[in-house]
Structure 1
Amino acid sequence: MGFNLDFNNTFEGFSKIEDGVYEVVIDHATEDATKGGAEFTNFQMTIRNDLDQPHKNQKIWERVFKAKATGTYNMMMFNTIGKAANLQSGKTYNTFEELLEDYRGKPLQVYVENETSEYNGKTYENLNVKQWKPTAFPQVNHQWKQSNDSNNQSSNDPFKNNGEPITIQDDDLPF
């Protein structure tokens, strides 16, 4: 058995996302928890490639944590993101999952800043969303990368992997 390298199947060279304003599409929003048990909703976004902007196709993640004291979310954050994503004001959702699903595929504009934080004696570099605004370009022509893997039988839905939502765990992140 041998191994072959295929240089047509490589990761693109991504650079550190700089502070600034980016037009993005929300890939998905999912609930998760840290190893310590802190619950949060993770918004995963992709910088759009249908517009002339740096860092096309790179990912931005933003976590919205539940308050420790109450164990509930501050819905003002979800309202702010929903308004920027042009969700319907006053719409009633039967479940929290329905609300999260409504964010999927929505374009919006974010202002991000790189910040340094310290936790348990370790220093971390984080890219944080500081502002959420409606997109200046509501017509989305973003082209999702298709896998070259002939064994991959997934659908063309850019938000799913073999029909299942893509989930990022803490162990998957380099920070």
Structure 2
Amino acid sequence: MSGFNLDFNNTFEGFQKIDDGVYEVVIESAAEDATQGGAEFTNFTMVIRNDLDQPFKNQKIWERVFKAKATGTYNMLMFNTIGKAAGLEPGKTYNTFDELLNDYRGKPVQVFVQNETSEYNGKTYENLNVKKWSPTKFPNVQHQFKQKDNNSGNPMNSAPQINDSDLPF
């Protein structure tokens, strides 16, 4: 690899710590995942709307809903709470859990978030936690999602393209 230069006008600045408060967000996705220790959860990824006058536009908020260790199942209370705030159809029957998770995608909600400190295995962590889910006050969503390409966004989210000819061995 040769013939490249650095452009300091095109850098990743990172994100600011989101302050405690109420934000209008769009649920970008809801997907199942697991911790390194094997604890299963559903991760709700939300983005702070950029079509409204509010701070931290385009930054993401994540909320995890864990399965109960004792039963290996979800307590549907959180899914009902989020579904009600997102305006999902009450009483709707879903054939699969993925079908339910897909129904959350693109829905606007209002969340109250709070920064909290927690401790686990002797380490202290700063967490932004969703404390309340409410229906949006602005249902006409005009949010523009950032385009995902190799030249924008977080460089840690995209793998570089490496050919055998790029390797020194």
> Aligning the two structures, in what range does the TM-score lie when normalised by the shorter sequence?
0.7 to 0.9
1:144 positional shift? 1.4
- Contact residue 9 and residue 148 of structure 1 kept, 8 A: no
Equivalents in 1 of 2:140, 2:12: separation in Å? 27
Equivalents in 2 of 1:7, 1:87: separation in Å? 44
Equivalents in 1 of 2:30, 2:122: separation in Å? 30
Equivalents in 2 of 1:62, 1:28: separation in Å? 11
Partner secondary structure for residue 98 of structure 1: helix
Equivalents in 1 of 2:149, 2:121: separation in Å? 41
Equivalents in 1 of 2:116, 2:87: separation in Å? 28
1:146 positional shift? 2.1
Q: Number of matched residues?
A: 152
Aligned to 1:119: 120
The change in CA–CA distance for 1:67 and 1:146 in structure 2 (over 3 A counts) is: same
C-alpha distance after superposition, 1:135-155 (max 9, x if no partner): 0000111111124648x9xxx
C-alpha distance after superposition, 1:78-109 (max 9, x if no partner): 00000000000000000000000000000000
Superposition TM-score, scaled by structure 1 size:
0.82
Gaps of 5+ in 1: 153-160, 162-175
1:28 positional shift? 0.2
1:21 counterpart = 2:43: no
Aligned to 1:108: 109
Aligned to 1:142: 143
1:29 positional shift? 0.3
Identity of aligned residues (%): 80
C-alpha distance after superposition, 1:119-146 (max 9, x if no partner): 0000000000000000000011111112
1:2 positional shift? 2.8
Gaps of 5+ in 2: 158-169
1:9 positional shift? 3.4
C-alpha distance after superposition, 1:8-46 (max 9, x if no partner): 533355210000000000010000111111100000000
RMSD over aligned CA atoms reads 1.8
Give runs of ≥4 in structure 1 deviating > 4 Å: 147-150
Aligned to 1:97: 98
